[in-house]
Copies of this chain bind each other. A is one copy, B any other.
């Protein structure tokens, strides 16, 4: 038995689908210690939008470490943090006319969500939050309470309260008008719905099965929140930083969320970093009312700023992401058509893509077949029925084709049996 099996908790999961020991990584490739190369179409669950060990960021990181730049700095002022804030402001916020303040909530996406929920409740004096079916927002108690997956919820050991799920876009395949139930409950003073402080939403539900909300649904949600004086928290942890094309995944919906959660690829290089953007008038916490040890991961500030400078000064990345995304969608559509009786569904936006099977077993077999062929993909959705692709945005067109071939082969191998 390996040390992983004897010493690590059984709660580990990814290592079960990919039972090999990885050593090195470059771009879209992971290399196991026995030298085998794997094309990584999962990219750290969206934490590696710029690829593994991106050379530009790597250079900046090594330079910074080599010159003894501050590594750990709580929430102190540092040169690296200033550079990150200025770059974020100049390259991302100002050009989009976005007026937000930045909270450093802790190192991970769940911290960004916890900070947003805490602040929304504090500002409004209300406890209740609306989340959506099949949402995923994290594993800490606050974030878990707005997460849908019943297995993960069961891990909490306490009743998860103060959140009510509403149907996400297309939950009833268009059978109901958007927000019919939600708005009716809000308008009916006898509905029994606790008045919500906030709504928390993903534009594309990654863990939930690559469910991409329509832009008009997002716009409708934003309008509804404004009408009813509810704060809109946009959790862009997985779909932000260009995953669907634009830097923020909600840009094309033309909305201005009250709070935005970013993590995963915001650090650029895969080091932990998270930020919560808030409307300036919501900045009501006293100094230290929310704090934490890892809110100043300066090496991550360095790679974060460098990533913004490298990839977001123009719209090249956005365009190529959309184009690659279309290519994946096209390939998936071909599979859908090739197996009409399998009821496959092609899902997603940008380079967040999913291929839905009739059940989790099939999807799992396809992923296993792909792993054998050197491609890393994961399943998602309530029953794991969706093969989920989150390739690095820097994946080349050739690599995309290579991956799509493996996927097609893998699907064939499973469905043609």
Interface residue from B16, B24, B69, B110 paired with A287 (Cβ < 8 Å): B16
Interface residue from B3, B24, B124, B270 paired with A67 (Cβ < 8 Å): B24
Give bound CA distance, A163 to B293, whole Å.
Answer: 23
Query: What's the tally of chain A residues with a CB closer than 8 Å to chain B?
Result: 154
Known: A121-B156, A139-B290, A189-B151. A85 touches B4 (CB 8 A): yes
Task: Return A414 CB to nearest CB of chain B, in Å.
Answer: 22
Asked if B283 and A148 make an inter-chain contact with CB atoms under 8 angstroms apart, the answer reads: no
Give bound CA distance, A193 to B134, whole Å.
Answer: 10
Q: At the interface, yes or no: A78 with Cβ under 8 Å from chain B?
A: yes
Give bound CA distance, A264 to B295, whole Å.
Answer: 12
Q: In chain B, what residue has the closest Cβ to A109?
A: B293
Give bound CA distance, A139 to B163, whole Å.
Answer: 19
Asked if A193 and B165 make an inter-chain contact with CB atoms under 8 angstroms apart, the answer reads: yes
Interchain residue pairs with CB less than 8 A apart (21):
A7-B88, A14-B74, A21-B79, A24-B69, A44-B73, A47-B293, A52-B72, A109-B292, A114-B139, A119-B155, A133-B188, A133-B191, A147-B192, A149-B190, A149-B192, A150-B195, A157-B197, A158-B162, A165-B192, A191-B382, A271-B299
Asked if A19 and B292 make an inter-chain contact with CB atoms under 8 angstroms apart, the answer reads: no
Give bound CA distance, A1 to B278, whole Å.
Answer: 19
A-B contact sample (9 more), CB < 8 A, given A4-B81, A118-B156: A9-B101, A13-B288, A24-B70, A25-B69, A117-B141, A133-B192, A140-B143, A150-B195, A190-B209
The stretch that binds B, out of A168-176, A315-323, A334-342, is A168-176
Per-position binary interface string of chain A over residues 302-313, scored 1 when its CB falls under 8 Å from any chain B CB and 0 otherwise = 000000000000
Q: At the interface, yes or no: A106 with Cβ under 8 Å from chain B?
A: yes
Asked if B134 and A188 make an inter-chain contact with CB atoms under 8 angstroms apart, the answer reads: yes
